[in-house]
Amino acid sequence: MLDLAATREHGLIRLQAYAPAMGRRYASGRNYDHGPGKHAAVSMLSPWIRRRLVTETEVFAAALAAHGPEPAGKFIEEVIWRGYFKGWMERRPQVWDSYRKGLLDDLADLGRDRRLRRDVSRAEAGETGLDCFDAWAQELADTGYLHNHARMWFASIWIFTLGLPWRLGADFFYRHLIDGDPASNTLGWRWVAGLHTRGKPYRAQAWNITTFTGQRFAPRDSDLAEVVAGLEATEPDGLPPLLPMRGVATPQPGRPTGLLITEEDCRIEDFALDGLDIRAAATLAASHLRSPLPVADAVAQFEDEALADAASRAEVTAAALRADHPEALARWAAAAGVTQIVTPYVPRGPLYDWLTEATSALAAQGIVLAEWRRDWDSAIWPHATAGFFKLKQQIPRILQQMELA
């Protein structure tokens, strides 16, 4: 596990320490995977950004202040990617629903097919005999982290060389990555498989692995599959149509209110709490919802610490809830005498699914769920409708809109 504290203070210390490297050093070194404990060229801020212990706006501002927009351009683009994937999933939530259903089908096949079960078990344990892949599997299990380039290589080898179902690989990542995000993880695997940018799969190549691991690994060309086509034939209807961004119920002053803190946004003090009649607060642990299979202890531990830190900074005494039966949320709210639960926006993913199930139980008690959506998301998501390049063209305008230019 990453030996790092899941607090805003620790994230800000890390942000300040890394800011001098957000310019040309990042641009020249970002693709090199030097192995566990040696990822100095990348920030490794993703566990904090994913939970908004440190916000994207703060990271942007630090990069611009230290280097300016052009030298920090590559780093800025990388931060934008997370927002792009989230926005893309918000506009095509059918892809998330399809992933969840397909994963259940793949897990059912896993239970029936002894050979598949053996092959998946060997891949997850790092026992395939392919040194680079096995090392990455072990690093993921031991630390909860993988360099982004290694994630791409790993996914490509899983899908095309080992011939394993892509959803099982995505689930393996999601169960172990401390920075695991439903949109980034799902769409990243779909991108490698040729399903996101359709017909353009990512091919892991021996020379590329050798070069960008600093010769730590030197696979042969024959060790890796020759990828000539992706998995687009498995989805012959193509991408689902774009849907409008879902609306949100705005928090209403004057209503007895319960404050709900989730790992989707742990910078709760950014929102207008003073104008609300807050009667109770709760944290909601939900990392176990990532998969039907057991989720790594390190993921749950980071979430628990982040939630506790968020409640402390918001200066509220928070009940510790767990996202098990959805009616539990309604029981907590009713016992507290609240008619409105407010929380930062919850994007598509397992927690959104759980809260959707909880809505009917809340409504039966006369309780509404209201959300805040950040300006950052509202600025980026409307442009996340196609490939990343469309959004990239809008970065100068987004910087101006966010008053970061």
CATH superfamily of 256-373: HUPs (3.40.50.620)
> What is the arithmetic mean of pLDDT over 247-254?
93
CATH number of 96-234: 1.10.579.10
Least confident of 252-256, 290-294, 298-302, 393-397: 393-397
Least confident of 4-8, 142-146, 369-373: 4-8
- Considering the segment(s) 8-90+379-401 as one domain, its CATH architecture is Alpha Horseshoe (1.25)
How large a percentage of the chain has pLDDT more than 90? 90
pLDDT, one tens digit per residue, over 71-114 is: 999 999 999 999 999 999 999 999 999 999 999 999 999 999 99
> What is the arithmetic mean of pLDDT over 378-383?
92
Q: Flag whether pLDDT at 41 surpasses 70.
A: yes
Q: Flag whether pLDDT at 402 surpasses 80.
A: no
Q: Flag whether pLDDT at 126 surpasses 70.
A: yes
**C-alpha distances out from residue 72 to 16, 43, 142, 158, 218, Å:** 15, 13, 31, 33, 32
Q: Flag whether pLDDT at 138 surpasses 80.
A: yes
- Complete DSSP assignment for 146-215: --HHHHHHHHHIIIIIS---HHHHHHHHHHH-TT--HHHHHHHHHHHHTTTTTT------HHHHHHHTTT
**CA 183 to mean position of chain CA atoms:** 6
Nearest to 225 by CA among 173, 164, 282: 164
Q: Cβ contacts of residue 346 below 8 Å, gap of 6+?
A: 262, 264, 352, 355, 371
Q: Flag whether pLDDT at 405 surpasses 90.
A: no
> What is the arithmetic mean of pLDDT over 165-182?
98
> What is the arithmetic mean of pLDDT over 164-188?
98
Residues of the chain with CATH 1.10.579.10: 96-234
Whether residue 323 contacts residue 336, with contact meaning beta carbons closer than 8 Å, is answered with no
How many whole angstroms separate alpha carbon 211 and alpha carbon 215?
6
Q: Flag whether pLDDT at 404 surpasses 70.
A: no
How many CA atoms are closer than 13 Å to the CA of 88, on its beta-carbon side? 27
Mean pLDDT estimate for the chain: 95
> What is the arithmetic mean of pLDDT over 15-25?
96
Which runs of E-coded beta strand occur in 98-144?
none
Instruction: Give the torsion sign (CA, 283, 249, 98, 167).
Output: negative
**Token pair listed for 17:** 């320490």
**Token pair listed for 6:** 């899941």
Looking at residue 395, its pLDDT comes to 85
Q: Flag whether pLDDT at 297 surpasses 80.
A: yes
Q: Flag whether pLDDT at 253 surpasses 50.
A: yes
Whether residue 261 contacts residue 318, with contact meaning beta carbons closer than 8 Å, is answered with yes
Looking at residue 175, its pLDDT comes to 98
Q: What are the helix (H) ranges across 195-326?
A: 206-212, 297-313
Residues of the chain with CATH 3.40.50.620: 256-373
**Token pair listed for 34:** 């030097």
Backbone angles phi, psi at 87, to 5 degrees: -65, -40
How large a percentage of the chain has pLDDT more than 70? 99
How many whole angstroms separate alpha carbon 380 and alpha carbon 52?
16
Q: Flag whether pLDDT at 19 surpasses 50.
A: yes
Q: Cβ contacts of residue 304 below 8 Å, gap of 6+?
A: 6, 285
Q: Do you know the residue count of the chain? A: 405
Q: Cβ contacts of residue 360 below 8 Å, gap of 6+?
A: none
**Token pair listed for 223:** 């060790």
Q: How confident is the model at residue 1 (pLDDT cuts 50, 70, 90)?
A: very low
Q: How confident is the model at residue 156 (pLDDT cuts 50, 70, 90)?
A: very high
